[in-house]
Amino acid sequence: MKADEFRKIAEFLGRIDPAIPWHISRFYPQYQMDNLESTPMKTMNRAYEIGQESGLRYVYLGNVMGKGSDTHCPQCGQVLIERVGFTVQKQKIKEGKCPDCQNPIDGIGL
């Protein structure tokens, strides 16, 4: 996928609502498709950057360990929900707001 395609997707989501989470999943070869290459991390990182540049508040990378799974405050950048795989390690949101800058955080039950 080319950068302009990622940009079109991100801009489309942003026109609907910039609070819509965009989950970008990395292809990882498994089972009968193990002869194909994984999506390059360069491509994943560029898609992530485009999502942020397009004004989406919550951009996540899937099938990638380490980067892109945490939730950050869209105002100050503070890590609010820290994840490892599917496990939440830390959750810092207080009464639906960032504890550092008091910016409201989108989501139900936060």
58 and 27 both lie in a single domain: yes
How high is the pLDDT of residue 108?
Answer: 80
Q: What is the pLDDT of residues 12-62, one digit of tens each?
A: 999 999 999 999 999 989 888 888 999 999 999 999 999 999 999 999 999
61 and 75 both lie in a single domain: no
Please name the residue that has the structure tokens 């992530």.
48
Query: What is the total count of domains within the chain?
Result: 2
The C-alpha atoms of residue 55 and residue 94 are separated, in whole angstroms, by: 24
pTM over 0.85, yes/no: yes
Domain that holds residue 21: 3-66
Angle 3-16/41-53 helices, nearest 10 degrees? Answer: 40
